[in-house]
Structures are given as C-alpha cells and as structure tokens.
Amino acid sequence: MNDDQIHPLHDTDKEIVDSLIVKISPEDFDLINLARLINRYEGFQGEHELKDDLKKILKFWKMSKDELFSKTRKIWKNSFRPSNTSKEMIGSGFDASN
C-alpha cells in the first residue's frame, strides 16, 4: 500500500490546520476542529506532515489527545451545534443532516 497517500480533503484540512497552529488561546470551535481532524487522519496511510502538525498543535496548546477529547465531549454535551453553512464541516460527519 502506498504510504504517501493524499487525503481527498487535504487542501481544506490544511487551511484549517494552518489557522489552528497559530492560535495561542483556542476557542471551543478550534478544539472541535482539532479533535475531528485527529480522528480523520488517525490510521490514514500518508499525510505525515499534516499529522505532525496536528501533534504540534496539541503540544503548543499544552494538552494531550485524551484531554482534548475530554474537553470536546463537554463542549458537545453543552449543546454545541455546528453551523449548517460552514464549508469547513464537509466530510467531518457534521454534514450528515439528512
């Protein structure tokens, strides 16, 4: 299997990652975005640079993956709902409103 696969949503996801990597104090939506991208790329063959950037963001924000997922579970539990008009949500599972 090719170890250098490019994900179909690479370009969109790279823009999101680039916006997250410069955030000093992440907001709830930033945490949600990071968690969903980690889930998307975990186990995906390739995209090593993007996966490394996701790890760098966690380190920069001084949290573990478990802490991130714990925080995002609380965010969802507190009635977080993504906007239906956000193109960034395409392919995330958020777009399954039908």
Judge contact between 65 and 38, C-beta under 8 A: yes
Which tens digits make up the pLDDT trace of 20-62?
999 999 999 999 999 999 999 999 999 999 999 999 999 999 9
DSSP state of 87: G
How do the domains of the chain map onto residue ranges?
Answer: 27-78
Q: What's the pLDDT score for residue 81?
A: 76
Tell me, yes or no, if the pTM score tops 0.85.
no
How far is residue 97 CA from its own chain's centroid? Answer: 20
Is residue 89 within 8 A of residue 36, CB to CB? The reply is no
